[in-house]
Amino acid sequence: MHQLPHTRDVLVLSGGASRGAVQVGMMRALVERGVRPAAYVGTSVGALNSVFLAGAGAGSPGDLAERVQQLGRHWSGIQSRDVFPGSHWTRIGHVVRHPASLYSSDGLLRLVRTWAPAHRLEDLPVPVRVVTTRLESSDAVYHDRGDLQTLLLASTALPSIFDPVRLLGEDGPETHVDGGIADLVPVAGAPSLTPSRVFVLDASVPARLRRVRTPIDVLLASLAVSMRVRPTVAMPGVEVVHLTAPDLGVRMHDFSRTAEHIALGYRAACEALGPLGQDHTVAA
């Protein structure tokens, strides 16, 4: 597969919590095949990955390849307690002070601050649409401007896990939560970016609940069910390449198998895209 002279590639990155690491491997495969994203659309962990990758700008392919490597190193350094901090007793104290969430957002905010390459979304070298869910209307919102850290915090704010985030809308303050609730695989954000080709880096998996260990297991499985409804998208004449990876059965808040997820994403994307240097059209 080759980058055509006038191809405008838009990358759509889904939510998926700890499985978001598969998108690192998928990106590596795309970069090896000459894909140079003109824009990104990301929801939840896919929004984090998107804005970090957009920091590479529109420079040489080597810049993006190095950015993908850096993203992989960031992922390799994450532990579950970094995102979901505290012991059982500290969580009880948090719930007393913040009854809308089980966990403090402090760890998530530290992650956002480390990964955000700009202060404002519109200042990124490559355009990104960050997806959140507006609770007042249950709609997905595809942001193209605003404070980057605040938008990322909203896009990753799993309901009941982290506090909702207040964003200023046209009619005043609004309450926003994880973008995956309204649009888990946000292809609907791509048409406004006028793509000629869309690559979907899908880290989501079907809802699964094998054994209930904690209330969080039930909550995350319930959220996964709610996230399966997706907006209908029509993009006549646009090639859509949907990349997925097998499910390792890892809990969505378990970051202990990141290296396997990255390798899995790379292998799955290579199989879908075909050998390097092969000149053909990828099947949607």
Q: pLDDT digit string (tens) for 219-238?
A: 666 666 666 666 668 888 99
pLDDT band at 207 (very low <50, low <70, confident <90, very high): low
Q: pLDDT tens digit string along 139-154?
A: 999 999 999 999 999 9
Smallest CA-to-CA distance from 8 within 40, 31, 32, 33 is with 40
- pLDDT band for position 94 (50/70/90)? very low
pLDDT of residue 161: 82
The residues with which 13 forms a beta bridge, in sequence order, are 42, 201
At 96, the pLDDT band (50, 70, 90 cuts) reads very low
CATH architecture for residues 7-271: 3-Layer(aba) Sandwich (3.40)
pLDDT at 217 over 70: no
| Residue 163 clears pLDDT 90, i.e. is over it | no
Q: Using an 8 Å Cβ cutoff, are 120 and 147 in contact?
A: yes
* Cα–Cα distance for residue pair 43/68, rounded to 1 Å: 18
The tens digit of pLDDT for each residue in 43-84 reads 999 999 999 999 976 555 678 999 999 999 999 998 877 676
* pLDDT > 90: percent of the chain: 57
Confidence of residue 243 (pLDDT cuts 50, 70, 90): very high
**Chain position carrying tokens 């053909």:** 280
Question: Domain segments of the chain: what residues?
Answer: 7-271
Which pLDDT score, from 0 to 100, does residue 281 have?
A: 45
Residue 279: pLDDT band with limits 50, 70, 90: very low
pLDDT tens for residues 16-29? 989 999 999 999 99
| Closest CA relative to residue 157, chosen from 138, 174, 175, 139 | 175
Tens digit of each residue's pLDDT (9 = 90 or more) over 171-199: 889 999 999 989 999 999 999 999 999 99
Nearest to 144 by CA among 202, 189, 197: 189
